[in-house]
Amino acid sequence: MTRLPDGRFVDDAPYDPNESLHQIERRDLDAPNWLLIWRKFRQHKLGLISGIFLLLSYLMLPFAGFIAPYTPNERMSEHLYAPPQSVHLWHEGRFVGPYVYPTKSEPDLETFQWKIVPDTSRPMPLKFFCRGGSYRLAGLIPSKTHLFCAPEGATVFLWGSDRLGRDVFSRILYGAQLSLTVGLIGITVSFLLGISFGSIAGYFGGKIDWVINRVIEILRSLPELPLWLALSAAVPSNWGPVSVFFIISIILGILDWPGLARSVRAKFLSLREEEYVRAAEMMGASSGRVIRKHLLPNFMSHLIASATLSIPAMILGETALSFLGLGLRAPAVSWGVMLNDAQNLANVEIYWWTAIPMLPIIVVVLAFNFLGDGLRDSLDPYQS
């Protein structure tokens, strides 16, 4: 690069009149699709941040037991409704490292409530990589090591404790395991159903199309929640938490597929007239192969974007069901189950931290919405 006296910049490379003008763009044109999508997606800051946040949240799930200082159903009967404790670093101008103050319950004779008073004279440093309640790492490896736990004779309730003296922070981490995966399982079910019904209807047309279309219309015109309620009321109450969890997520998925099937069908209707489909058929490809190899990859990315946008609805659905007492039940921990305890307004007014589980719900749902928007915008890399 040379700078001319008048301030312009000129490339020093020798000029080749035969060089194609498109040479520079060639690399962009040849780049694989995912690279183009990624480049465009990177510019969508909100979507990128949300995506990273969600990735971290899901990566955290198997290690929830390790990060949480307590196990989800561990009760501290002396610390019912303990307010959130903060972790300090400096004690009287001296660096101690992360520590908490031990707390004591005192009866308040005016309001007839237990008041929890921190003893600010004795800082007690947190222990790291310490032994605590046993859990299974990723549901498989039994372990007792926790990232951090409370020192002897003190507690560490980062977000307070609930009515049974269980740590809200630990429970939120454990609750994430169920609340976040409900959406994934549900969307898988809805994806499978939606793609198969949608592609059958769109590809074959005729009578099958008519029938599937009517089913879609009917299911779409029904209010979801009452049906969810009715279906989950049908789940036998003697089932274990794990099977209830699976059946709930499947129920959420079963009522969600029509929207997806509709868009798949519409796309198939237009795509099946394309030449390459005709060519594949002429060469004797079976309909299953044409659908899987030639048609679906065409708009898989769109489907993924729309799936991202419908996961939040499922997370909210699970929360609502559990909140009403028809979803997951007590020994299981999910954000909805935790909020079930916060139903009582008077309670929330005094012990505001019992309503904290609503924060992760809102944040996760927002993140999914932003991620979905970002994906949708960047999926067509050839569009300016």
Partner 1 sequence: MILLRYAIYRFATMLLTLLVVSALIFLIINLPPGDYLSNQITELRASGQESGVAKAEFLRHEYALDRPLWEQYMIWVGMMPGPNGFSGLIQGNFGWSFEFDRPVSDIVGESLWLTVLVNLAAVLFVYLVALPLGVLAAARSRTWVDYTSAFFGYLGLATPNFLLALILFYYGHKHLNLPIGGLMDPRFEGLPMSWDKARSILIHLIVPTFVIGTSGAAAMMQRLRANLLDELGKPYVETAIAKGMSPPRMLAKYPLRMAFNPFVADIGNLLPSMVSGSVLVSVVLGLQTIGPTLLTALKTQDQFLSGFVLMFVALLTLVGTMISDVLLVLLDPRIRYEGRDA
Of 253, 242, 232, 248, nearest in space to 188 by CA = 253
Task: Give the 3-state secondary structure of residue 118.
Answer: strand
**Whose Cβ is closer to partner 1: residue 5's or residue 223's?**
223
List the interface residues with partner 1, window 148-167 (CB under 8 A): none
The residue within the footprint of partner 1, chosen from 218, 266, 300, 330 (CB under 8 A), is 218
Structure tokens at 60: 């955290």
Q: Which helix (H) or strand (E) holds 227?
A: helix 224-233
By residue count, the chain amounts to 384
**Whose Cβ is closer to partner 1: residue 212's or residue 339's?**
339
Strand pairing class (124-125; 94-100): antiparallel
Determine the Cα–Cα distance for residues 310 and 308; give it in Å rounded to an integer: 6
- Under a CB-based contact definition with an 8 Å cutoff, are residues 256 and 190 in contact? yes
Q: How far is the CB of 376 from partner 1 (least distance, A)?
A: 12
**Whose Cβ is closer to partner 1: residue 304's or residue 324's?**
324
Of 98, 107, 88, 93, nearest in space to 126 by CA = 98
**Whose Cβ is closer to partner 1: residue 303's or residue 339's?**
339
Q: Does 345 bind partner 1 (CB under 8 A)?
A: yes
- DSSP class per residue in 19-72: S-TTHHHHHHHHS-HHHHHHHHHHH-HHHHHHHHHHHHHHHHGGGHHHHSSS-T
Of 304, 188, 325, nearest in space to 244 by CA = 325
**Whose Cβ is closer to partner 1: residue 74's or residue 224's?**
224
Q: Does 323 bind partner 1 (CB under 8 A)?
A: yes
32-40, 239-247, 286-294, 355-363 -> range binding partner 1 (CB under 8 A): 355-363
Q: Does 339 bind partner 1 (CB under 8 A)?
A: yes
Determine the Cα–Cα distance for residues 35 and 32; give it in Å rounded to an integer: 6
Strand pairing class (94-100; 2-3): unpaired
**Whose Cβ is closer to partner 1: residue 217's or residue 274's?**
217
- Under a CB-based contact definition with an 8 Å cutoff, are residues 245 and 330 in contact? no
Q: Does 37 bind partner 1 (CB under 8 A)?
A: no
**Whose Cβ is closer to partner 1: residue 296's or residue 316's?**
316
Structure tokens at 321: 């069901």
Structure tokens at 21: 């003008």
List the interface residues with partner 1, window 223-282 (CB under 8 A): 223-227, 229-231, 233-234, 236
**Whose Cβ is closer to partner 1: residue 192's or residue 359's?**
359
The residue within the footprint of partner 1, chosen from 92, 349, 383, 384 (CB under 8 A), is 349
Q: Does 330 bind partner 1 (CB under 8 A)?
A: no
Q: How far is the CB of 315 from partner 1 (least distance, A)?
A: 9
**Whose Cβ is closer to partner 1: residue 137's or residue 365's?**
365
Q: Does 324 bind partner 1 (CB under 8 A)?
A: yes
The residue within the footprint of partner 1, chosen from 31, 36, 369, 377 (CB under 8 A), is 369
Determine the Cα–Cα distance for residues 82 and 369; give it in Å rounded to an integer: 34
Q: How far is the CB of 191 from partner 1 (least distance, A)?
A: 20
Q: Is 356 exposed, middle or buried (0-12, 13-18, 19+ CB in 10 A)?
A: buried
Of 212, 254, 82, nearest in space to 158 by CA = 82
Q: How far is the CB of 241 from partner 1 (least distance, A)?
A: 19
Give residues in contact with partner 1 (CB under 8 A): 214, 217-218, 220-227, 229-231, 233-234, 236, 312, 316, 319-320, 323-326, 339, 342-343, 345, 348-349, 358, 361-362, 365-366, 369-370
